[in-house]
Chain A
Amino acid sequence: MVLVLRRKGKTGAERMGRYLIWRAATAMAVVVALSALCFALLDLAPGSPAADILEARSGGRPPSAAAVTRLEHEMGMDDPLPVRYGRWAAGAVRGDFGVSYGSGRPVSEVLGDTVPWTLLLTLVAIVFSVAGAVLIGLAAALTRRAWLRRTIEAGMFVLGGMPGFVTSLLLLYVFAAWLQVLPSGGLSRPGEPVTLAVLLPHLVLPALALAFGHHFGTYVRLVETGVGRLRSAPHVENARARGLSRWTVTVRHLLRPGMVPFTARLGVGVGGLIAGAYATEMIFSWPGVGRQAIYAAREQDYAVLTAVVLVTGVIVIVANLLGDLAVAWLDPRVRLSGGGTHDVGD
Chain B
Amino acid sequence: MHKPVLVAGVVTALSGLLATGCGAGGGGSAATSGGTFTYAIGDEPDTLNPALQDEHTDPVTELVFRGLTRRDATNNVVPGLAESWTVSEDGKDYTFKLRSGLTWHDGKPLTSKDVKFTVDLIRRSGTAEAPLSRNFQAVSTVETPDPATARIRLSRPFAPLLDAMGMGLLPEHVLRGKKITDADFGQHPVGSGPFKLTTFKPGQYAQLESFGGYYEGKPKLPKIVIKYVPDDTARFIQLKTGEVDGAHLQPQQTAKVREDDRFRVETYPTADYRALMLNFTKPVFADKHVRQAMNYAVDRQAFVNSVLLGQGSPATGPLDESPYKTAAPFTFDPAKVDELMKAAGYAKNAQRFWVKGGKTVRFELSTFAEDSARVGILNVAATQLKAQGFDVVPNPRPRDWVRKHWGDLEAFVVGWGTPYDPDSSVFGPFHSSEALANGGSNYGSYANSQVDKALERGRGTSDPAVRKTAYADFQKALAEDPPFVWISYLKTSNAVPVALKGPQQRTLGHHGYGFFWNAEKWSWS
Contact = CB atoms under 8 A, between A and B. Distances in A.
Contacts of A198: 22
Interface stretch (A2-10, A148-156, A250-258): A148-156
A212 B227 contact: no
B131 A54 contact: yes
A51 B405 CA distance: 13
Contacts of A60: 56, 415, 510
A172 B232 CA distance: 13
B3 A155 contact: yes
Contacts of A208: 7, 10-11
Interface stretch (B296-304, B357-365, B395-403): B395-403
Interface in A270-294: 282-285, 287-288, 291-292
Interface string A158-188: 1100000000010111111101111111110
A93 interface: no
Contact of B441 (A47, A62, A197, A287): A62
A186 B204 contact: yes
Interface string A37-60: 000000001111001001011111
B25 to A, nearest CB: 5
A190 B22 contact: no
Given A66-B439, A180-B27, A183-B25, A151 B1 contact: yes
B447 to A, nearest CB: 17
B241 A48 contact: no
Contact of B201 (A64, A100, A151, A287): A287
Contact of B237 (A131, A135, A155, A177): A177
B212 interface: no
Interface stretch (B88-96, B178-186, B341-349, B497-505): B178-186
B243 A183 contact: yes
Interface stretch (B47-55, B115-123, B156-164, B261-269): B47-55
Interface stretch (B13-21, B138-146, B385-393): B13-21
Contacts of B398: 46
Given A103-B47, A200-B22, A132 B243 contact: no
Contact of A136 (B2, B26, B204, B205): B2
A102 B186 CA distance: 11
Contacts of A47: 399-400, 403-404
Given A176-B25, A191-B199, A184 B205 contact: no
Interface stretch (A67-75, A227-235, A305-313): A67-75
Contacts of A62: 403, 406, 441, 443
A140 to B, nearest CB: 9
Nearest to A70: B128
A182 B11 contact: yes
Contacts of A159: 3
Given A59-B510, A200-B14, A287-B202, A183 B403 contact: no
Contact of B225 (A63, A187, A191): A191
Interface in B206-264: 207, 223, 225, 227-231, 233-234, 237-238, 240-241, 243
A144 interface: no
A189 to B, nearest CB: 7
A202 interface: yes
B492 interface: no
Contacts of B202: 103, 110, 113, 287
A43 to B, nearest CB: 14
Interface in A225-244: none
Most B C-beta atoms less than 10 A away, residue of A47, A103, A169: A103
A184 B128 contact: no
A114 interface: yes
Contact of A61 (B24, B47, B54, B511): B54
B509 interface: yes
Given A59-B509, A103-B183, A183-B243, A292 B1 contact: no
A206 B53 CA distance: 33
A56 B53 CA distance: 9
B185 to A, nearest CB: 9
Contacts of A155: 1-3
Contact of B181 (A61, A104, A183, A189): A104
Interface string B432-460: 00000001110100000000000000000
A204 B18 CA distance: 11
B243 A184 contact: yes
A184 B131 contact: no
A176 B128 contact: no
Interface string B1-44: 11110110011001101101110111100100000101000001
B510 A184 contact: no
Given A136-B6, A180-B25, A186-B204, A65 B439 contact: yes
B46 interface: yes
Given A155-B3, A212-B7, A190 B131 contact: no
Contacts of A292: 203
B518 interface: no
Interface of A: 45-48, 51, 54, 56-67, 70-71, 74, 99-100, 102-106, 110, 113-114, 128, 131-132, 135-136, 151-152, 154-156, 158-159, 169, 171-177, 179-187, 189-191, 197-198, 200-202, 204, 208, 212, 282-285, 287-288, 291-292, 295, 299
22 contacts: A56-B46, A57-B54, A103-B46, A104-B47, A104-B181, A113-B203, A131-B10, A180-B26, A181-B24, A182-B15, A184-B26, A184-B238, A184-B241, A185-B238, A190-B38, A190-B205, A191-B223, A198-B22, A201-B24, A202-B24, A212-B7, A285-B204
Given A103-B187, A190-B225, A204-B14, 16 more contacts: A47-B404, A54-B128, A56-B46, A59-B56, A66-B439, A67-B131, A104-B182, A128-B10, A177-B241, A180-B27, A185-B238, A191-B225, A200-B17, A283-B234, A285-B229, A285-B234
User: Top 7 A-B pairs ranked by shortest CB distance?
Assistant: A287-B203, A104-B183, A201-B24, A47-B400, A59-B56, A180-B26, A64-B439
Interface of B: 1-4, 6-7, 10-11, 14-15, 17-18, 20-22, 24-27, 30, 36, 38, 44, 46-47, 52-56, 126-131, 181-183, 186-187, 199, 201-205, 207, 223, 225, 227-231, 233-234, 237-238, 240-241, 243, 398-401, 403-404, 406, 415-416, 428, 439-441, 443, 509-511, 513
